[in-house]
Amino acid sequence: MKEFLKRPVNFIKDTYKTRSLQWTISLSYMAISILSIVAMAIAFYTHSINTIRSNTIEKNEQILDQVSLNLNSYIRNMMSISDTMCYSVIKNTDLTNEKINKEMNLLYEANKDNLTSIVCATQDGAIIAASPVSARKPGVDLKKEKWFQSAFDEIENLHFSTPHVQNIFDNSNYRYFWVVSLSRCVELTNFGNVRNGVLLVDMNYSGIEQMFERVNDQGMGFVYLCDAEGEIIYHPMQKAIFAGLVKENNIVHAGHADGAFSEKFDSQERDVVVKTVGYTGWKIISVTPTSELAFDMGRMRNYLLMVAIVILILIVVGNYIISYVVTDPIRKLEESISDLEEGVINEDVMNEDDIFIGGSHEIRHLGRTIKSMVHQMRKLTDDMVREQKAKRKSELDALQSQINPHFLYNTLDSVVWMIEGERYKDAISMVTALAQLFRISLSKGNNIISIRDEIVHARNYLNIQQVRYKNKFTAQIDIDPEIENCATIKLIVQPLLENAIYYGVEHMDGEGEIKLKGYEKDGDVFISVSDNGMGIPEDVLATLLTDKARSRGKGSGIGLWNVNQRIQIYFKGDYGLIIESELDEGTTVTIHLPKIPIDEYSKEDGNAKI
């Protein structure tokens, strides 16, 4: 076999040696071009098909994002109605002498386009108030309703039901609407005593139905909605599915995380995109059968075949002329840049003016490009130090920009609740603290501020959180006046306080303690944040300041890792965070900084690395 293959290989070698460079280039170029075009056509076709599918999936993801936004807005509106009724009416009313019918009717009238009814009942199933006012149907036991039972199964949560017919009230027109029920456990006050009850908000299912019908009229495939267990809430073929005429893979879809994937279901290839709806856990699912993309795929295949044929014809016709024109200029150019092959770009050894520029436009362009490349390579060497500095600066800015917006949202929600509850002084105090918080956060663009300003920022943050958490914890601040005028990176204490609150004392029912202490030791500055919370397990503690904490995304680890990285980017030496924790005893996180007076920073050096 070897002898059989050896002869044609040697023949090809001898032929190449005896033929001219033009002939060699022409033949080689022809063979390589044809093979390349075939390979590129196959690759491009595959890529185009994947691109069509990717574009379809991307479009469906955008549609799902919009649907999710609309559905979230719809659900949040219902939750807002429930919250308003719960916190602004029921919680502030003693049912002994007061009624809640008026407020409930006003709330219903303001939102009746999306609502079917609002009901408040005791834990015994007795209706306290309902809007619109209707007679309760005989024999209806609210305690047997699924939405009623769900409210008491988890009293701290809001509960969304799947679509059902709500028929607890008599209707003179004998019309009973499909609804999605939002129920929650509420505290009812009667003769000064508090007992549990249920607040029900029935959302009109037609609003969800119309939302999805509009989406399904827009493009290929279809979009449907199911709950976390896979029970269908809306489907364009819902009646056919319930009748057993059509099947849907909803149980499997509900088990998937958000994203896109392909499946084969009921002998059909399909692209599926899943999107989870916020608080409810519902799944919005887009399904596009691959067969619906067949037209675009066929058109792309025909277009690609036509282009390949035209290119092959052009190659055959122009190959001879091109090979002749290109041969000599290429040889001269190769000779003029031979030093570049050895990696020499020194101006003393290789002069840019010695690079040959001649021949066809392409070869001249190539010569100019190589000449420019040599110039750019020399310039690149000079720019490397500046680029490294810029990279470090961008890394710091990226770390600085990792801000959790939920604190701002929750704080503004608290201000709204205070104003609605006519606690104007508390609202003014909270807004003032928030303004001071952001004034120091901005710091006129400076990353270095005094410890005094950083502690003022931390104190405002604690004041806001104590109002939000209704004094569930106490806070002590003890800062040595000797270090208040020292320099620190801004916004490094607040993430530690945030961790102490969220992962330390949030669930301690008023027994939580947070201590913020600043002092000087061995010529350095130390700022510690301690809590008496549950502590951190040893295996988690060992990874909090490593890249593993960063890879976990949101959570306590990323905040500590962020602060530690910012300190190490700014300061030379062994500075950063020290974490000590003991289970059931608490956690102490200490910031270690050099002692440098803030006055030593000039305006030019204020944002520079030390």
Predicted confidence band of residue 607 (pLDDT cuts 50, 70, 90): very low
For residues 449-460, average pLDDT: 89
- For 204, the 3-state DSSP assignment is strand
CA dihedral 447, 448, 454, 458 (to 10 degrees): 20
pLDDT, tens digit, 9 for 90 and up, residues 518-528:
999 999 999 99
User: What residues contact 103, with CB distance under 8 A and at least 6 apart?
Assistant: 85, 88, 89
Q: At what angle do helices 406-420 and 424-442 cross, to 10 degrees?
A: 160
DSSP 8-state code for residue 162: P
**What average pLDDT does the segment 394-398 reach?**
54
pLDDT at 303: 79
The whole-angstrom separation of Cα 590 and Cα 610 is 21
Report the percent of the chain where pLDDT is more than 90. 16
CB-based contact 365:355 (threshold 8 Å): no
Give the pLDDT score at 406: 54
pLDDT in tens, 404-452: 555 666 677 777 877 877 777 878 877 887 787 777 666 555 778 899 9
Which of 140-149, 470-479, 526-535 reaches the highest mean pLDDT?
A: 526-535
Beta bridge partners of 487: 450
**Minimum mean pLDDT range among 194-198, 305-309, 378-382:** 378-382
Distances (CA, A) of 265 to 272, 388, 512, 603: 11, 52, 54, 65
Contacts of 312 (CB under 8 A, 6+ apart): 33, 34, 37
Using an 8 Å Cβ cutoff, are 452 and 440 in contact? Answer: no
Mention every residue, 6+ apart, whose C-beta is less than 8 A from residue 333. 355, 356, 358, 359, 363, 366, 367, 370
* Mean pLDDT value of segment 578-599: 92
Q: Which of 586, 580, 583 minimizes the C-alpha distance to 505?
A: 586
Predicted local confidence at residue 400, as pLDDT: 53
What is residue 443's predicted lDDT score, i.e. its pLDDT? 58
| 188 three-state secondary structure | strand
What per-residue confidence (pLDDT) applies to 184? 92
Which pLDDT score is estimated for 556? 46
**Res. 540 pLDDT band, cuts 50 70 90:** confident
Residue 254 phi, psi (nearest 5): -65, -25
Exposed, middle or buried, 172 (CB in 10 Å: 0-12/13-18/19+)?
exposed
Q: Give the whole-angstrom CA distance, residue 338 versus residue 358.
A: 17
pLDDT for residue 144: 86
Q: What is the pLDDT of residue 551?
A: 58
Give the model's pLDDT for residue 508.
Answer: 79
Q: How far is residue 498's CA from residue 11's CA, in Å, rounded to a whole number?
A: 78
* Statement: residue 610 has pLDDT above 90: no
Instruction: State the sign of the Cα–Cα–Cα–Cα dihedral 389, 392, 398, 401.
Output: negative
Element (H, E) at 187: strand 178-190
Asked whether residue 584 carries a pLDDT value surpassing 70, the answer given is: yes
CA distance 404 to 382: 39
Mean pLDDT of 227-234: 89
Residue in the structure block whose two tokens are 């893979």: 249
Average confidence (pLDDT) over 18-34:
70
Flag whether pLDDT at 1 surpasses 70: no
State the pLDDT at residue 239. Answer: 87
Q: What is the DSSP string of 513-573?
A: EEEEEEEEETTEEEEEEEE-SS---HHHHTTTTSHHHHHT-SSHHHHHHHHHHHHHHH--S
- pLDDT of 604 reads 41
Mapped to the 3 state alphabet, what secondary structure does 117-159 carry? Answer: EEEEEECCCCEEEEECCCCECCCCCHHHCHHHHHHHHCCCCCE
> How much is the pLDDT for 405?
58
Range from 15-29, 184-198, 305-319, 371-385 that averages highest in pLDDT: 184-198
**Is a pLDDT exceeding 70 seen at residue 462?**
yes
* pLDDT higher than threshold 90 for residue 339: no
CA distance 385 to 610: 17
Least confident range of 80-94, 266-280, 314-328, 393-407: 393-407
Q: What is the 3-state secondary structure (H, E, C) of 245-303?
A: CCCCCHHHHHCCCCEEEEEEECCEEEEEEEEEECCCCEEEEEEEEHHHHHHHHHHHHHH
**Average model confidence (pLDDT) for the chain?**
80
Q: Which of 318-322, 346-350, 408-412 has the lowest mean pLDDT?
A: 346-350
**pTM of the predicted protein model:** 0.43
Comparing 576 with 600, which gets the higher pLDDT?
576
Give the best-scoring range by mean pLDDT among 58-72, 84-98, 576-590: 576-590
pLDDT higher at 106 or 96: 106
pLDDT of residue 608: 42
For the chain, list the domains and their CATH numbers.
Answer: 18-331 (3.30.450.20), 402-600 (3.30.565.10)
How high is the pLDDT of residue 609?
40
The CB density around residue 268, as the number of other CB atoms within 10 Å, is 11
What is the structure's pLDDT at 483? 93
pLDDT-derived band at 458 (thresholds 50, 70, 90) equals confident
pLDDT band at 385, cuts 50/70/90? low
* Tokens standing for residue 145: 């309703």
Closest by CA position to 313, among listed 17, 34, 21, 601: 34
**What digits encode the pLDDT tens for the residues 187-226?**
998 888 889 999 999 988 888 888 888 888 876 789 999 9
pLDDT at residue 14 tops 50: yes
| 603, pLDDT greater than 50 | no
